[in-house]
Structure 1
C-alpha cells in the first residue's frame, strides 16, 4: 500500500509538472503574438530637426487632435535619402527650403490658409512648401576660453592659426547649416576656393557629424569657436551658459526651413492639418519663447535680445543665387576632402 501511494504521488507531481510546462509554453507563444499587433500612425513625418524642436510640436498636435504621429528623424543627408526613396512617410517638416526645391516634383501644391500672415520674402512661389522658421547663421564662442582681444569678428576669424583644430564645424556634406556658412563666406571672399581650402586646413580634420555637436563641443571647451544658428546661441546665452555670439561682419545668411506634403500620400488631410498647425500663431510663439526662434509670421514679434531682421548684415543675394553658390562650394569641398583623403592613404 505504501508503494502504491508513492507511485500515485509521483504521477501527480509528473502531471503537475507537465501542466505547468504547457502553461508556460502557452504564455511564451501568446506574448510575442500580442506584442506584434501595432496600430499604424495617422501621420509619418521626416525631419532633420533636433528632438528639442520637433517633440514639443508633435506632442501638442497629438494632444489637440487625438491623432498619432510617427517621426523619422536624421541628418540632412538622411532626409535626402528619404526623399530619394519617397515612401513610408507623408510630410517633410522643418527642412531647408533649398532641399525641398531640389525635390520639387515630390510635393503636392498647397496654399496655407495662413499664407497672408507670412512675410512675403518667405513664401513659396508655387506653394510647394510653407515656411516654418528662419535661422540666421552666427559664430558662437566660449567666453571662458576666448579673451576679449581674441573675439571673432567674421568668417575670416575662423582661419586664424590660434584656432587650428579648435573650430566646431559640422561636415558640410551632412549639414545644410555648415554648407550655408561656407556659401556665406564664399560670397564675400575674393578667393572662394582658397577660403574653403584654408578653413579645411584650420579644422585639422576635426569635422563634426551634425550641428548639435557644435553646441556640445563649445560648451565643453573642446572647441573655442564654431558656426551654428542664432536660435541655438541665443537660447544658450539666455540660459546663462558661458557662450556669446556675433554676426559675421562680412555678412551672414538665413536658413529658411519649410514644411511640404508628399504628393500621393494617403494621409493628405492629416498632413494639411499638421502643416497648418506648425504655421499657426500659437506654435510660432511657442518656438519664439522657448527656443528663441524667429517666426516667419509678420504678426509675431522678434525674440527678446535679438536685432530686427532688417538690421542684420545680410548680403544682396536672393535665395536662388545662394543656392547656386552652395552647389559650387559643395563641389569644391568634396574635391578638397577627396584630395586630403588620397594624401592620407598614400602616407
Structure 2
C-alpha cells in the first residue's frame, strides 16, 4: 500500500472517529467538543453547511448552535449583531443566496421584513403554543419573552418604583430610566410597541414621550440596562424577564416588577431566508430549536419561557398579565417609530 493511500485512509479514520465522538452524547444539551473543530481542519461539503445570522447574545446562541452541530454534523457559519443590523444584512444577502436563516429578534421584526422569509412549518409544530405561531409560517417562535420593569433595590423602595407603564413617565424618573438605542436593540422597539398598544397612544407619540423622559440618557445596547441600574447610574429600567431573572440570580443589585396594567410576551423568532443556499439544513435548525431538549435547556439555563406546551414551567417565573399583542400592527408601526426616533436622535438619512 502506497504512502498516499495510507495518508488518505488515516485522514478518513480521523474524521470518522471525530464524528463518532461528537455524536456519542445526544441527550440533554451540554457544551462539548464540536463539529466546528473538525470542519475548520478539514474541508466541509456544501451540503453540510449552514449560514446563520443571529441577534442573540453569544451566551445564548453559541451552546445551542454547538449542540446542533454535534447532533447533525452540520457546520454553522455565524454572523452576529443587533436585530435591525442583522435584518438589514439578511435583506442585502438573500438576493445573492448568502444567508440561510435569521435566529433571534422579536417576531414583529420578522413581520416587518416578511418578504425576505419563506414559509416553513416545524416538525414540532403540533407541540407549540398556537398563540405564538405565525399565520403564514414565515417565522417560527423560539421562546416567550415578557417585558418587565427593574429597579435599584438599594436606592428605590418597591412601593415607590413604577408599577404601571404610565408611572414610568412620572417626572421623578426623568433621566433615570435605563433604555437602549432602538437601532441596536430589538427589545427597545418591542417596548415602544407594547406601550403603544397598552395606552392606545400612537407609536410616534410614545417614542417622543420616551425620548423626552430619557433626557439624553440613551444606552448603546440592551446589555447595558442591567449594570446601569445595578450601579445606580439610573434608577429604573425596562428589559426582558429572562434578562432580569439571570441578573438577579447572579447577584446584581436589582429587583423586578411585572407591570400591573399588563405587558407583552412577544416571542423571539427564527426564519428561513428566501434563496437560502442550504434550505434543508435551515429546516433542520428550526426543528431543533423547537424540540423538547432545546426548549427545556433555554428555560433552565437562560430563564426563557418555552413555547412548547409540554414543557412544564419552572416556579421561578411569576404570574403575569399578558396583553393580546398585535404582531402585525407592531410590524406596520415599525417604520414610523424608527423614523421618529431617528429624527429625535439626529440620525435622519
TM-score bracket for the superposition, by shorter chain length:
0.7 to 0.9
CA RMSD of aligned residues (A): 2.5
Q: In the alignment, what sits opposite 1:334?
A: 342
Find the partner of 2:180 among 170, 174, 178.
170
Deviates most, 256-265 or 116-125: 256-265
Structure 1 position 194, deviation (Å) = 5.2
Name which of 44, 60, 63 aligns with 2:70.
63
- Secondary structure of the 1:213 match is helix
Once the two structures are superposed, residues 80-134 of structure 1 have per-residue CA deviations (whole angstroms, 9 ceiling, x without a partner) of 2212212422111123222222222322322211110001111122222221111
Matched, 1:296 2:303: no
Instruction: Note if contact 2:90-2:273 (Cα within 8 Å) is conserved in structure 1.
Output: no
Which structure has the highest helix share of the two?
1
Of 132, 137, 144 in structure 2, the residue corresponding to residue 127 of structure 1 is: 137
Residue 187 of structure 1 corresponds to 197
| Alpha carbons 2:105, 2:186 under 8 Å: kept | no
Match runs of 1:279-290 below 5 Å: 279-290=290-301
Query: In the TM superposition, what is the alpha-carbon distance from 1:285 to its structure 2 partner?
Result: 0.3
1:320 is aligned, of 328, 332, 335, to 328
8 Å CA contact 1:189, 1:195 repeated in 2: no
Q: Aligned with 1:46: secondary structure?
A: strand
SS at match of 1:237: helix
Partner deviation per Cα, 1:122-173 (whole Å, 9 max, x = no partner): 1122222221111011111121221234222122232233333221101123
Query: Under a length normalisation based on structure 1, what TM-score does the superposition of the two structures give?
Result: 0.79
Q: Distance in 1 between matches of 2:217 and 2:137?
A: 40
The aligned residue for residue 269 of structure 2 is 258
Q: Are residues 195 and 321 of structure 1, via their aligned partners in 2, closer, same or farther at CA, if it must alter by over 3 Å? A: closer
**Contact 1:96/1:256, CA 8 A, preserved across alignment:** yes
Helix, strand or coil: the match of 2:270?
strand
Distance 1:134 1:161 in 2: 32
Q: Identify the residue that residue 28 of structure 2 maps to in structure 1.
A: none
**Which segment drifts farther, 261-270 or 195-204?**
195-204
- Shift, 1:328, TM fit: 4.0
CA shift, 1:49, in A, is 0.7
